[in-house]
């Protein structure tokens, strides 16, 4: 009887041991299953929790997700996800073709064609003959009248010397020297030969002098005002030659590498789309604008018959013949603040992000200046779908932690 009891006790103990061991295994498998899941928010994918609940940021219900064991910059997608995301790949190779780039800009006055009419002596502006910006001044037209004591003294010296020419002896000889010296001074002050000759026949020397334009142009700025006193050399009016204008535009630094001084461009105008003019790149600013991070490009545009006006909006098309390079659709490139990258198919259903340097853009294509293996299949559609899925699963940017 005791023997039977012992056997029964051993059997019960064995059964309990087996049951406990099985429970531990089940608990362990459940723990492993739990670890294979995490909970995240569709609006804030950086949130990761090990149990269901609400997002601490937007308070939406967290979504269960399977842990992705792929590398940091990789993501595995199912065939259904690839189809729904319209993800297609293609091997790319260098192509050679003419690339046309378009730049928008504005016509401005050619600063190299601006002339300033300045005062040749100190005095007071008695009269301005032109008072409106945009007026056209012809060469030899009167511009302003100046009251100047310095010029009046020089006129008097010339008049006196002329009257003394008829005197005998040394008086006449000295008068000729004084006359020539006074004439040179009046010429220095800007008087014409005709104005100087008229002094000989005047009854009284006038302190007022009219000054004439020495060139033609359109008034771009009026500096002086009637009644104001000016110093010798002070500007009075600025004249612009509008037969040549500047077209100024700003381009991305990476695009400017393909542009050179002297390169030709075809310019069209928003106001006159049917009109096309050939222009030439004359200046590339060596300094980048610190605010826009863009580079100023300037072109010279001929303006026959003054048909074009400063302020007109333009489109300049610059063509590069026989440009060789790798080009992919612009939507295939993910542009972040510090880097640009593409997605390539590493193996069936496994995609890897690859940082690249981009170049010029044209006709919906962007140049890839980084070297890419010819065997790589580049994602040309659906790149943003892969990117969104990556951020949703891993809660981070594909380039996070990479050297830029």
Residue 11 lies in a domain: no
Q: Are residues 118 and 229 in the same domain?
A: yes
Count of structural domains, the chain: 4
pLDDT tens digits, residue range 91-137?
A: 887 776 667 778 899 999 999 999 999 999 999 999 999 999 999 99
Residue 170 lies in a domain: yes
Q: Are residues 176 and 75 in the same domain?
A: no
pLDDT tens digits, residue range 328-351?
A: 888 889 988 778 889 999 888 889
Residue 262 lies in a domain: yes
Predicted confidence band of residue 34 (pLDDT cuts 50, 70, 90): very low
Last-in-domain residue among 190, 207, 240? 240
Give the residue-averaged pLDDT of 284-294.
86
Residue 358 lies in a domain: yes
Give the pLDDT of residue 15.
55
CATH of the domain at 285: 2.40.30.170
Give the pLDDT of residue 242.
93
Residue 400 lies in a domain: no
Q: Are residues 282 and 232 in the same domain?
A: no
Q: Are residues 202 and 257 in the same domain?
A: no
Q: Are residues 283 and 268 in the same domain?
A: yes
Q: Are residues 84 and 191 in the same domain?
A: no
Q: Are residues 140 and 198 in the same domain?
A: yes
Residue 402 lies in a domain: no
- Enclosing domain of residue 80: 68-96+325-394
Q: Are residues 62 and 80 in the same domain?
A: no
Residue 364 lies in a domain: yes
Q: Are residues 232 and 118 in the same domain?
A: yes
Last-in-domain residue among 293, 323, 353? 323
pLDDT tens digits, residue range 235-247?
A: 999 999 999 999 9
Give the residue-averaged pLDDT of 320-326.
72
CATH of the domain at 386: 2.40.420.20
Q: Are residues 128 and 60 in the same domain?
A: no
Give the pLDDT of residue 251.
84
pLDDT of 144 > 90? The answer is: yes
Give the pLDDT of residue 70.
62
Q: Are residues 181 and 131 in the same domain?
A: yes
Residue 2 lies in a domain: no
Last-in-domain residue among 289, 304, 323? 323
pLDDT of 67 > 70? The answer is: no
- Rounded to 10 degrees, what is the CA torsion of 103, 108, 114, 119? -150
- Alpha-carbon distance of 175 to 160, in angstroms, equals 8
Give the pLDDT of residue 220.
94
CATH of the domain at 126: 2.40.50.100
Q: Are residues 189 and 298 in the same domain?
A: no
């Amino acid at each position: 009887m005791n023997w039977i009891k012992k056997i029964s006790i051993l059997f019960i103990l064995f059964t309990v041991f087996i049951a406990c061991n099985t429970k531990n295994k089940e608990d362990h498998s459940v723990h492993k299953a739990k670890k294979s899941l995490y909970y995240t928010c569709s609006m804030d994918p950086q949130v990761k929790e090990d149990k269901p609940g609400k997002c601490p940021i937007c308070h939406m219900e967290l979504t269960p997700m399977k842990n992705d064991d792929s590398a940091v910059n990789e993501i595995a997608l199912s065939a259904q996800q690839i189809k729904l995301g319209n993800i297609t790949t293609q091997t790319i190779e260098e192509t050679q073709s003419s690339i046309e780039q378009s730049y928008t800009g504005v016509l401005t006055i050619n600063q190299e064609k601006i002339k300033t009419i300045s005062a040749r002596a100190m005095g007071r502006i008695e009269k301005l003959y032109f008072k409106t910006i945009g007026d056209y001044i012809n060469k030899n037209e009167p511009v302003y009248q100046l009251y100047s004591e310095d010029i009046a003294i020089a006129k008097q010296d010339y008049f006196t010397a002329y009257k003394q020419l008829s005197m005998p002896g040394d008086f006449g000889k000295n008068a000729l020297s004084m006359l020539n010296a006074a004439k040179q001074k009046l010429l220095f002050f800007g008087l014409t030969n005709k104005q100087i000759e008229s002094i000989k026949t005047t009854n009284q020397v006038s302190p007022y002098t009219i000054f004439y334009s020495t060139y033609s142009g359109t008034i771009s700025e009026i500096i002086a005002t009637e009644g104001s006193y000016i110093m010798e050399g002070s500007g009075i009016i600025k004249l612009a030659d509008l037969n040549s204008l500047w077209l100024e535009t700003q381009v991305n630094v990476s695009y400017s590498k393909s542009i050179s001084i002297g390169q030709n461009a075809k310019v069209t105008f928003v106001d006159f789309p049917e009109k096309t003019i050939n222009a030439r790149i004359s200046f590339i600013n060596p300094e980048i604008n610190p605010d826009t991070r863009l580079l100023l490009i300037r072109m010279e545009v001929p303006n026959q018959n003054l048909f074009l006006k400063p302020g007109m909006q333009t489109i300049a098309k610059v063509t590069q013949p026989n440009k060789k390079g790798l080009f992919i659709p612009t939507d295939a490139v993910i542009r972040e603040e510090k880097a640009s990258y593409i997605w390539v198919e590493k193996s069936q259903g496994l995609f890897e992000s690859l940082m690249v340097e981009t170049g010029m853009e044209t006709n919906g294509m962007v140049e890839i200046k980084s070297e890419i293996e010819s065997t790589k299949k580049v994602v040309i559609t659906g790149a943003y779908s892969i990117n969104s899925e990556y951020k949703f699963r891993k809660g981070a940017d594909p380039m996070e932690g990479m050297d830029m």
